[in-house]
Amino acid sequence: MMKLIGPFKQIVTLNSLPFKGALKDELLEIIVNGGLLVQNGEILKVADFETLRKEFWQAEIEEITQKSVLLPGFVDCHTHACFAGSRAMDFAERNAGTSYLEIAQKGGGIWSTVTATRNASQSELKTLTENRVNGFLKNGITTIEIKSGYGLSVEEEIKILNTINQLNTKADVVPTCLAAHIKPRDFEGSNIEYLAYLTENLLSKIKHLTNRIDIFTEKSAFGIEESIHYLQKAKEMGFQITVHADQFTAESAQMAVSLGALSADHLEASTESDIRVLANSETVAVALPGASIGLGEPFTPARKLLDAGACLAIASDYNPGSAPMGNLLAQASILATFQKLSTAEIMASLTFRAAKALNIKDIGKISNGFKADVQAYDTTDYREILYQQGSMKPTKVWKNGHLI
């Protein structure tokens, strides 16, 4: 059955914007008094509402009576939403002067979330994660990536990946294995031995649960050589790769590019040469302003990355440690003010450019053949949405053409 949804005061389609580089707002296609024709969860056509109504007179009408602006659903391409427990104590301690790395060295940080997550049953973990994902969906996030990484043993990582795969949600969920988050405290052996343990005992068992492997490459986690070896093995086994890169120290973004990673995420410490390498590649540069806000660290050099020609995405990094806020739109709006990013650049980085980081081609634009994942805001001017810095929430969200 064909359905015509509208009229919308403005439809921001994001049509014909390129994947890479800076974007001027003049490039945005805005359809005034537009309609959206959908069939079988897919967008058939987007155009003037009255024209569509006449041409497709047989379509069922889903009438929008409020004046509203329609955007593509957002894609959050980097989260750690599957965890138990809280790290409120870390947050307070950091703000009182102890660093993220010092807290980690004392056995707090990621390890304390590992302990809480291991202690949670699969059904507790499922309920916690489902509530978070469904909250994100209400806020317009129709596709969400979720990493494991708080299990850190074969059994516990499989428990988390199973949980992520079994969530009861209308959102599209993309699972990623981050068993290489840190070497767990209870593993007797070196970093290299831990990574070999994962390669030999975990990766072949999770092919049905994920096709993506991530690693935290950082002084406090895994070194460059160790990471290269692990990621190469993962690639040989057919996994796509992504890297937590250049968060506190540089170098790993260039490694991610040289290994053909889909994305290099964080990049707060990236230098001019890292920016150039990213810009000359197909690896998506993912900024995580939530982690900068959560830790009080510098923002990713998003302006420089775009000006150099990179594909920039923005994700929430939602996790209990470095990025507890979990409000993607607020974080993107804040990044825009500090890095001077245009509305077009922010919209692209939350939609089709973020979809590229997940290797998904049919989401993130309101365009023929794309999934009908869209969201409406109660305003007549699309610029109000970023202006309100995350306080304005969508009033309606459609997944595959169905109102949530």
The smaller minimum CB distance to Fe ion, of residues 317 and 373, is found at 317
In the complex, what is the shortest distance from the CB of residue 101 to ligand NIG, in angstroms, rounded to a whole number?
Answer: 11
Residues that bind ligand NIG (CB under 6 A): 80, 109-110, 113, 216, 244, 247, 291, 317, 319-323
Choose the binding region for Fe ion from 55-63, 90-98, 207-215, 312-320 (rule: CB under 5 A). 312-320
Contact of 391 with 295, CB cutoff 8 Å: no
Binds 109, which of Fe ion, ligand NIG, none (CB < 5 to 8 A, cut-off by type)?
ligand NIG
Task: Report which of 192, 184, 193, 182 is spatially closest to residue 217, judged by C-alpha positions.
Answer: 182
Contact of 100 with 93, CB cutoff 8 Å: no
The smaller minimum CB distance to ligand NIG, of residues 247 and 270, is found at 247
Question: At residue 192, what is the residue type?
Answer: I
SS3 370: coil
Q: Which residue among 214, 317, 345, 373 contacts Fe ion (CB under 5 A)? A: 317
Residues 6+ apart with CB under 8 A from 85: 112, 113, 115, 116, 117, 120, 320
Q: What angle do CA 336, 285, 265 make, to 5 degrees?
A: 100
> Which residues are registered as beta bridge partners of 146?
175
Instruction: Determine, following the binding rule CB under 5 A, whether residue 226 of this chain makes contact with Fe ion.
Output: no
The smaller minimum CB distance to ligand NIG, of residues 244 and 371, is found at 244
Choose the binding region for Fe ion from 5-13, 311-319, 360-368, 372-380 (rule: CB under 5 A). 311-319
Instruction: Determine, following the binding rule CB under 5 A, whether residue 214 of this chain makes contact with Fe ion.
Output: no
The smaller minimum CB distance to ligand NIG, of residues 6 and 289, is found at 289
- Please count the helices (runs of H) and the strands (runs of E) in the chain: 16, 16
Question: At residue 247, what is the residue type?
Answer: Q
The smaller minimum CB distance to ligand NIG, of residues 113 and 252, is found at 113
Task: Report which of 215, 204, 219, 272 is spatially closest to residue 243, judged by C-alpha positions.
Answer: 215
Tokens of 234: 């993962």
Which residue lies nearest ligand NIG, judged by its C-beta? 321
In the complex, what is the shortest distance from the CB of residue 210 to ligand NIG, in angstroms, rounded to a whole number?
Answer: 17
Tokens of 119: 């202690």
The smaller minimum CB distance to ligand NIG, of residues 129 and 319, is found at 319
Contacts to Fe ion by CB under 5 A = 317
